[in-house]
Amino acid sequence: MKCVICKSPDVEKKLVEEEIRSGPDIVILPIEVMVCLNCGERYYDRRAMKFLEDTKHKIANKEVNLSPIGKVFRPTNVVKRRKLSRTAS
Ligand SMILES: [Zn+2]
């Protein structure tokens, strides 16, 4: 298979970590997908998509045992750039 983004033929099945959002939390899910070794584009087949969807459901229904591996932070004292804050005066 060729990468549709960069046309590289180096597309291989690899174990990657997919981030699933669950409210304010993020669940890191290891999953095997085809990955372009040149540009990093990921290709999800039907099985991978279904696995992701099913796992999202299970997480929402609390059917998956989760253990914390880190914390998620948001900066509290970073000054917003003017360009980005259109509504602020
Ligand atoms: Zn590529």
Distance between CA atoms of residues 18 and 28, nearest Å? 6
Instruction: Calculate how far, in angstroms, residue 20's C-alpha sits from the geometric centre of ligand 1.
Output: 23
Could you tell me the pTM of the whole model?
0.72
| Cβ count near 54 (within 10 Å) | 11
Grade residue 87 by pLDDT with cuts at 50, 70 and 90: low
Distance 1 CA to ligand 1 centre (A): 11
Report how far residue 47's alpha carbon sits from residue 33's, in angstroms, rounded to the nearest whole number: 10
Q: Token pair for residue 64?
A: 């998956």
Residue 56 to residues 5, 48, 64, Cα–Cα distance (Å):
27, 12, 9
CA of 35 to the centre of ligand 1 (A): 8
Average pLDDT value for the chain: 90
- Nearest 10 degrees: Cα torsion 22, 33, 17, 61: 30
The rounded percent of the chain whose pLDDT value lies above 90 is 74
Which residue ranges form the domains of the chain, and what is each CATH number?
1-89 (3.10.20.860)
Question: How would residue 36 be classed by pLDDT, with cut points 50, 70 and 90?
Answer: very high
Residue 73 Cα to ligand 1 middle (Å): 31
- Per-residue pLDDT, 32: 95
